[in-house]
Every structure is written in structure tokens, then in C-alpha cells.
């Protein structure tokens, strides 16, 4: 999924209309369009499951995207293939825990590769955007049976000395953490360092074409 979203970002950078960032309000309308078509037995199990979860948590998703209209000082925007996808995904972990993941959150910032390593760029996104968004998840899903909250952000990076804007390449970070621990963080019972230490964090940086790796982040 992460590498697929890098492709969507690249298409958007070439002004492909189908892949331009869209608003949180537009996402909700797309989800309602998706829910207007009931799956049949001939559809894939993945599509049937997605329909079930989107319908079950429709009001919670609406509340979340109302919160995400502003995201870390910028307007909330999402890049995805509108013909086949939505930025809301559900999955179960190996222990059958339920995860909700908001993917393809578009970050306007472009980070300098000369000043920051790929891990430092990912840390910037976590501290500037992701941690600040977690209260929205807690507010929207606290009374549900969701066990983990996840968010995936896509942003640009380039060498500001040698590269022109056409050499900007996308990077993606995905952050997944326990809903229980996120609540403790929101309630000031857990520090951001302690929360990040427990989170599962994955990146696909500018030099990783189709690869994804899991990383540990130490906040400084």
C-alpha cells in the first residue's frame, strides 16, 4: 500500500486530475458513494469486509474526518486513486486485534535531504503532524472496539542545492499504536517518547522503489 501511494503522489505531481489531493469532506462523500452499492457474492472477500467495516463505523469515520479538515496547521488532504480506493482501511492483526488505518494523508512540506536523513525526515512528520492528530482518533473511536489506530502520511524530499522541483521524490511513513496507549498519551499519563517507543513505524523513503522497512524512532 505504501509504495502504491508513492505512485499516486507522483501522478499528482504531474497534475493528473484523478490523483490530486482531495479534502476530508470529499472523502466522506466518496465513502457514502461506496456504501450505496451493496457487495454481491461475486465480489472479493476484501471488498465485502471493507464494506462491512465502513458501514459499521460510518459515523465514527465522519467524526474523524471532520476533525482532520485541519491537519497540523494545513488543510487536511488525501491522495488516493478515487476509482478503486478510499483512504480508510480496516484490518486485523495476528492476535485478531482490529486496526483502523487512515492512509495517504498529503503533507505539503518538502524536506531537505542534505539536512535530514530519511529517519529524521520521518521523525519530523511524526512530531509535527502525526502525534497532533491522535486526539482526533481518540475522540472519534473511543467508544468502539477498535484496538489500534494507524495513520500513513506522504511527503516530498529533495536535495535543495542540486535538485530542482522536478527531482522531488515521495516518501511515506505509517504509524500504528494501541488505542489504549494513545488514550493514556492524550490524558498525559504517557509521554510522547513512551508512546513512540511502543508504536509500529514503517517507512518507504525516496530510495526504496517498492520496499518498506520497519524502523525505531528516538525523539530528540
DSSP 49-112: HHHHHHHHTHHHHHHHHHHTTEETTEE-EE---TTT--SEEEEE-TT--EEEEEEEEEEEEEEE
Q: What is the mean pLDDT of residues 129-146?
A: 96
Give the separation between CA 187 and CA 164, rounded to whole angstroms: 44
Any long-range contacts for 205-208 (C-beta under 8 Å, 24+ apart)? 205/118, 205/121, 205/122, 205/157, 205/171, 206/113, 206/118, 206/157, 206/169, 206/170, 206/171, 207/118, 208/3
The b-or-e profile of 153-162 (16+ CB within 10 A means b, else e) is bbbbbbeeee
Q: Mean pLDDT highest for which of 14-18, 133-137, 215-219?
A: 133-137
Q: 165 pLDDT band (50/70/90 cuts)? A: low
**% of the chain surpassing 90 pLDDT:** 59
Question: Hey, which residues does 70 pair with through a beta bridge?
Answer: 75
pLDDT band at 10 (very low <50, low <70, confident <90, very high): low
pLDDT tens digits for range 120-130:
999 999 999 99
Cell of 149: 489506530
Residue 162 has a pLDDT of 72
pLDDT 10s digits, 178-219: 999 999 999 999 999 999 999 999 999 888 777 889 999 988
Q: pLDDT at position 8, please?
A: 56
93 vs 193, more confident: 193
- Please give the pLDDT value at position 206: 83
Q: Where exactly are the structural domains of the chain?
A: 2-215
Give all strands (DSSP E) within 113-168, no chain letters. 148-158
Amino acid at each position: 500500500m505504501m509504495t502504491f501511494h508513492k505512485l499516486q503522489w507522483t501522478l499528482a505531481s504531474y497534475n493528473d486530475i484523478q490523483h490530486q489531493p482531495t479534502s476530508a469532506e470529499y472523502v466522506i462523500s466518496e465513502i457514502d458513494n461506496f456504501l450505496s452499492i451493496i457487495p454481491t457474492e461475486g465480489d472479493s472477500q476484501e471488498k465485502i469486509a471493507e464494506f462491512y467495516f465502513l458501514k459499521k463505523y460510518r459515523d465514527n469515520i465522519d467524526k474523524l474526518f471532520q476533525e482532520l479538515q485541519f491537519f497540523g496547521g494545513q488543510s487536511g488532504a488525501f491522495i488516493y486513486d478515487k476509482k478503486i480506493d478510499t483512504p480508510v482501511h480496516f484490518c486485523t492483526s495476528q492476535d485478531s486485534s482490529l486496526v483502523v488505518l487512515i492512509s495517504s494523508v498529503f503533507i505539503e512540506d518538502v524536506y531537505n535531504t542534505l539536512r535530514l536523513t530519511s529517519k529524521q525526515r520521518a521523525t519530523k512528520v511524526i512530531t509535527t503532524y502525526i502525534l497532533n492528530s491522535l486526539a482526533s482518533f481518540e475522540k472519534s473511536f473511543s467508544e468502539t472496539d477498535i484496538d489500534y489506530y494507524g495513520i500513513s502520511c506522504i511527503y516530498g524530499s529533495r536535495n535543495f542545492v542540486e535538485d530542482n522541483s522536478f527531482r522531488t521524490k515521495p516518501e511515506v511513513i505509517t504509524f500504528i499504536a494501541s488505542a489504549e496507549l494513545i488514550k493514556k498519551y492524550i490524558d498525559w499519563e504517557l509521554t510522547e517518547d513512551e508512546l513512540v517507543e511502543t508504536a509500529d513505524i514503517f517507512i518507504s523513503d525516496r530510495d526504496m522503489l517498492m520496499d518498506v522497512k520497519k524502523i525505531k524512532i528516538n525523539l530528540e
